[in-house]
Amino acid sequence: MSVSVFGSLNLDLALRLPVRAAWGQTLLVQDGETAVGGKGLNQAIASARFGSQTRMAGAVGRDEAGALLREALDADGVDTALVETLGGHASGRATILIEPAGDNMIMVEAGANLAARAGGAIAAIDARTRVLLVQLESDIDELAALFASEAARPVRKILNAAPAVSAGSRLFDLSDMVIFNQSECAEYLQLDREPENLNDLLVARRLLNRPGQAVVVTLGAAGSAAVWADRAIFSPAIRAEAVVDTSGAGDCFCGTIAACVDQGIGAQDALRLANAAASLSVARKGAAPSMPMRSEVDALVAASA
């Protein structure tokens, strides 16, 4: 069995701010670093480190950043045969501003990511492919073509509906599972406040249109929840260490969930494992570099039992 991820690959510039930034303010930053990232790449690495055979599909530019992104995936054993190298496009880049408490603001220059085509990913779906995982930093038409393809019909299709863009709702009916955070949930459902608990999330059933579909929402420090038409479950957060950087937490959660689905792990256990993985990730710097190994996740879950 395996997980296929179609999505973005970015070279991240992370700047750690000395104080919370104000609009129009100039800050001198002494702690900055460059690392690989992008929602697609982060989630692929999270899946691979959790133990699933993982394939990455997407696009990079014919530049130094593109080479670094490929090398990072290769180092974690992610199959990069479907990562195109495109002339005439720069690789995607992101600037991440990290405030002292670990909260962040991310600005993305999509570059080659918006030129990635799904044809190769569709053609590569085979009997081993159990999960398709996508995000919304790629062309929406390409994502829809992938999920609507006949080849993808028997595969579990997971949409991380981030960043929140209105066109992303086109993919909801094509998805078996939709994952988003509190703010994205509130935006898509046009709620007047962010959901804080399981009862708040029952309204997410409005997004379901067929049996078996699920909506999963991360609730920050509270944990996460999943909602189906006929049931709902909640899993509390698992504390690890002090928060250092939250920029990869959502991607870590999504990649771990995809690997759990691939490995046949039940929903309640999957939420708990994904919560633990995300907790480990926020205690480390960077996005992709912060993704934990399966052994670390299992150890944290065992220690918290």
Sequence ranges of the binding site for K(+): 245, 247, 281, 284, 286, 290
Omega cis (within 30) before 100:
no
**What integer pLDDT is reported at residue 260 of this predicted model?**
98
Question: Which of 5-14, 135-144, 256-265 is the least confident region?
Answer: 5-14
Comparing C-alpha atoms, which of 287, 305, 285, 291 is closest to residue 31?
285
With beta carbons less than 8 A apart as the criterion, state whether 184 and 178 touch.
no
**What integer pLDDT is reported at residue 24 of this predicted model?**
82
- The yes-or-no verdict on residue 177 having pLDDT over 80 is yes
**What integer pLDDT is reported at residue 197 of this predicted model?**
86
Sequence ranges of the binding site: 10-12, 38-42, 137, 181, 218-223, 245, 247, 250-251, 275, 281, 284, 286, 290
- The yes-or-no verdict on residue 30 having pLDDT over 80 is no
Domains along the sequence of the chain with CATH = 2-7+39-89+113-304 (3.40.1190.20)
- The yes-or-no verdict on residue 193 having pLDDT over 80 is yes
The structure tokens 């708990």 sit at: 272
CA 11 to chain CA centroid, Å, is: 16
**What integer pLDDT is reported at residue 107 of this predicted model?**
83
How many Cα atoms are found within 13 Å in the side-chain-facing hemisphere of 287?
A: 35
CA 195 to chain CA centroid, Å, is: 20
Q: Average pLDDT for residues 14-39, to the nearest whole number? A: 81
pLDDT tier at 152 (50, 70, 90 boundaries)?
very high
Sequence ranges of the binding site for ATP: 181, 218-223, 250-251, 275
* 110 φ/ψ angles, rounded to the nearest 5 degrees: -65, -40
pTM of the complete model:
0.93
Sequence ranges of the binding site for substrate: 10-12, 38-42, 137, 251
Q: Helix crossing, 249-262 with 267-282: angle to 10°?
A: 150
Question: Which of 11-25, 61-75, 157-171 is the least confident region?
Answer: 11-25
Q: Mean pLDDT in the chain?
A: 92
**Tokens found for residue 262:** 């691939």
- The yes-or-no verdict on residue 31 having pLDDT over 80 is no
- The yes-or-no verdict on residue 17 having pLDDT over 90 is no
CA dist., res. 17 & res. 153, Å (int): 46
**Tokens found for residue 137:** 């930093």
**What integer pLDDT is reported at residue 286 of this predicted model?**
80
CA dist., res. 48 & res. 76, Å (int): 7
With beta carbons less than 8 A apart as the criterion, state whether 92 and 113 touch.
yes
% of the chain residues with pLDDT over 90 = 74
CA dist., res. 270 & res. 260, Å (int): 6
Exposure string (b/e) for 82-115, b if CB count within 10 Å is 16 or more? bbbebeebbbbbbebbbeeebebebebebbbbeb
Q: Which residues are catalytic?
A: 251
Comparing C-alpha atoms, which of 66, 110, 118 is closest to residue 87?
66
Query: Sign of the C-alpha dihedral, residues 132, 180, 197, 210?
Result: negative
Read off the pLDDT of residues 36-92 as tens digits, 9 standing for 90 and up: 999 999 999 999 999 999 999 999 999 999 999 999 999 999 999 999 999 999 999
Read off the pLDDT of residues 198-257 as tens digits, 9 standing for 90 and up: 888 899 899 898 889 999 999 988 999 999 999 999 999 998 778 887 878 999 999 999
% of the chain residues with pLDDT over 70 = 100
With beta carbons less than 8 A apart as the criterion, state whether 118 and 6 touch.
yes
